[in-house]
Amino acid sequence: MAASNKQNLQLDWGTIALYGVLVLFGWLTIYSAAFNPLTPSPFTFSEEYGKQLVWIGVCAFLIVVILYLDAEVFNKFAIYIYLFFVLLLMLVLVIGKEVNGAKAWFGIGDFGIQPSEFSKIGVGLFLSKFISSSGVQLKNLRTRIQAFAIIGLPAMLILLQPDVGSLLTFLAFILVMYREGMSGNVLIAGFASVVIGTLSIVIGAGRTTYPYFGEQSSIWTFLISLLGLAILALIFVRNFIVPRSRRMLYSVIVISLVLASSLAFSINYIVDNVLEKHHKERIYVMLSLPVEREDASYNSEMAKITVGSGGLLGRGFHQGPMTQNNYVPEQWTDFIFSAVAEEWGFVGSVLVILLFFALIYRLVALAERQRSQFSRVYGYCVAAIIFMHVLINIGMVLGLAPIIGIPLPFFSYGGSSLMAFTILLFIMIRLDAERLSIFR
């Protein structure tokens, strides 16, 4: 069956080419950033660039396997794949190896496997299967709750590791659900939450002396301002809006106030009392708020300097003074984009961003041309996950997002990440290759 299928396969060579370029560019950057002058050969398997070559080889093998598999497998076994990774996520909490304070790794000799990276494949497949099953409408609350449960179970397990970075990438699935019919208010609410959350942290970091209450966190000023804003809005509605709409608007305003206030208060509370000190400092560094320790801003500062060091055209391969001197710690992993920016400059960095945009654009196009809803939803899952990673990772390097340790797809050193993204992408390519033979 597999052999006969293969003759009909219509592989999207554009996507495959983009994948190839990104992986190659990524490996070159690792080769430069992790370069050890004592072992200049790319085939030095004790160094990151040598190891990454092995992972690329493994990925080539995985690609062949995926392309040989029947496309139906992914639809049929979606739930089992999902459950398998959930099981791994549970297992890692028990027998996992702790790295940087998170129990996120299965250690196998020198190598480590990070199940959270792979779990996104399971969630993507199962969510697609669920949304595409007959009778499921994302407009229904029940369906939405079920969908969130599918996403939430592995997300909860990842939070227990704890690995906040990986958790955040699960937000990608909200974008997918939005595409599949969930209310756009979710996005608006999400955007509003980010704004309110940021303001509450920035304002809440200060201290103000209030009459009768003495010195307190400035968050109260923010809450009082929200209250004042709501009162102004109520007065506005009362005087300038036709009576029949007032009732509805009153409740919208009051509910918004309650939600916004509790969000602001709880975010401020979480930042102050729940988050670990280094997480709080990372957020403060991103928001340019003062931090106690000088080194808290070190990574962020060095990343920005490294990016700036590139200039318009870059320093050239193996020539970036910041990159070659390891100013950014472990630059070949999460901060790899700074190496790109230094050695290839503005031109190279924009090229990488455009390559990612092209890949996401291409994935959306692939998704939209699917006849099966399963394939379409899955295509969006892939596009959204890659987008979330790019958004957070590059934002972090450019100082626009807090320092969250998640890899840049295809670029960052690491087998788990590279294999997971390869599998994720090539399942879509495999599905797309058979789009004409699937009718649904």
Partner 1 sequence: MNNDNRRYTFLFIVGTICVIYIARLFALQVATSEWKNKGSRLTEREVVVYPSRGNIFDRNGKVLVTNQTVYDLMVLPKDLQPFDTLDFCKLVNLPYEELKEILKKSVTYPNVKYKPSPVIKQMLPEEYAIFAERLYKFPGFFVQARTLRTYPESLGALVLGDVGEVNGDILKSHPDYRKGDYIGLSGIEKSYEKELRGKRGIKYVYRDNLGVEHSVANGQLDSAAQEGVDLYSTIDAELQKYGEKLMQNKRGCIVAIEPSTGEILALVSAPTFDPNLLVGRARGQNFAALAKNPLKPLFNRATQAQYRPGSIFKLAQSLTALQLGSITKDTRIACNRSLIGCHGAHSMDDLEMAIVHSCNPYFRGVLQRVVEANRDPNNRAKDAAIGLSIWNEQIRKLGFGSNLGSDLPNMKKGNVPSTEYYNKKYGVNGWNFSTIYSIAIGEGELLINPVQMCNLACIIANRGFYVPPHTVKQIGRGGSARTEYVTRVDVGVKPEYFETVVNAMEKVVGPDGTANSIKLSDIVICGKTGTVQNEPREDHSVFVCFAPKENPKIALAVYVEYAGFGGTWAAPISSLMIEKYLKGGTTNTGREELIMNAKILN
Query: Residues 370-385, buried b or exposed e (16+ Cβ, 10 A)?
Result: bebbbbbbbbbbbbbb
Binder among 171, 360, 434, 438 for partner 1 (CB under 8 A): 360
Binder among 377, 383, 396, 423 for partner 1 (CB under 8 A): 383
Binder among 307, 336, 377, 381 for partner 1 (CB under 8 A): 307
Nearer to partner 1, 354 or 436 (CB): 354
**204 touching partner 1, by CB under 8 A:** no
Cα separation, 429 vs 390, in Å, equals 20
**369 touching partner 1, by CB under 8 A:** no
**77 touching partner 1, by CB under 8 A:** no
Angle between helical axes of 336-368 and 13-33 (0-180°, round to 10): 170
**28 touching partner 1, by CB under 8 A:** no
Nearer to partner 1, 81 or 391 (CB): 391
Q: Report H helices in 37-140.
A: 48-68, 72-76, 78-95, 115-132
Beta strands in 132-280 (DSSP E): 207-210, 214-217
Least distance in angstroms from the C-beta of 379 to partner 1: 10
Least distance in angstroms from the C-beta of 113 to partner 1: 28
**335 touching partner 1, by CB under 8 A:** no
Cα separation, 221 vs 228, in Å, equals 10
Cα separation, 69 vs 427, in Å, equals 10
Residue type (1 letter), 279: H
**304 touching partner 1, by CB under 8 A:** yes
Binder among 49, 332, 335, 380 for partner 1 (CB under 8 A): 380
Nearer to partner 1, 235 or 400 (CB): 400
Q: Which residues contact 200 (CB under 8 A, 6 or more apart)?
A: 219, 222, 263, 264, 265, 267, 268
Tokens read off for 354: 């455009």
Nearest-5° angle of CA 11, CA 17, CA 18?
115
**317 touching partner 1, by CB under 8 A:** no
**356 touching partner 1, by CB under 8 A:** yes
Cα separation, 71 vs 392, in Å, equals 31
Tokens read off for 56: 């690329």
Binder among 374, 387, 411, 421 for partner 1 (CB under 8 A): 387
Least distance in angstroms from the C-beta of 200 to partner 1: 22
Binder among 9, 146, 181, 220 for partner 1 (CB under 8 A): 181
CA distances from residue 48 to 34, 287, 332, 413 in whole angstroms, order as listed:
6, 33, 8, 7
Least distance in angstroms from the C-beta of 330 to partner 1: 14
Nearer to partner 1, 314 or 414 (CB): 314
DSSP class of 407: P
Binder among 154, 345, 414, 415 for partner 1 (CB under 8 A): 345
**306 touching partner 1, by CB under 8 A:** yes
Where does this chain touch partner 1 (CB under 8 A) — which range of 6-14, 75-83, 227-235, 395-403? 395-403
Backbone φ and ψ of 354, nearest 5°: -65, -35
Binder among 14, 101, 107, 308 for partner 1 (CB under 8 A): 308
Which among 345, 340, 316, 315 has a CA at the least distance from the CA of 328?
340
**Where does this chain bind partner 1 (CB under 8 A)?**
35, 37, 175, 178-181, 184, 187, 294, 304-312, 318, 321-322, 324-327, 341, 345-346, 349-350, 353-354, 356-357, 360-361, 364, 367-368, 380, 383-384, 387, 390-391, 394-395, 398-400
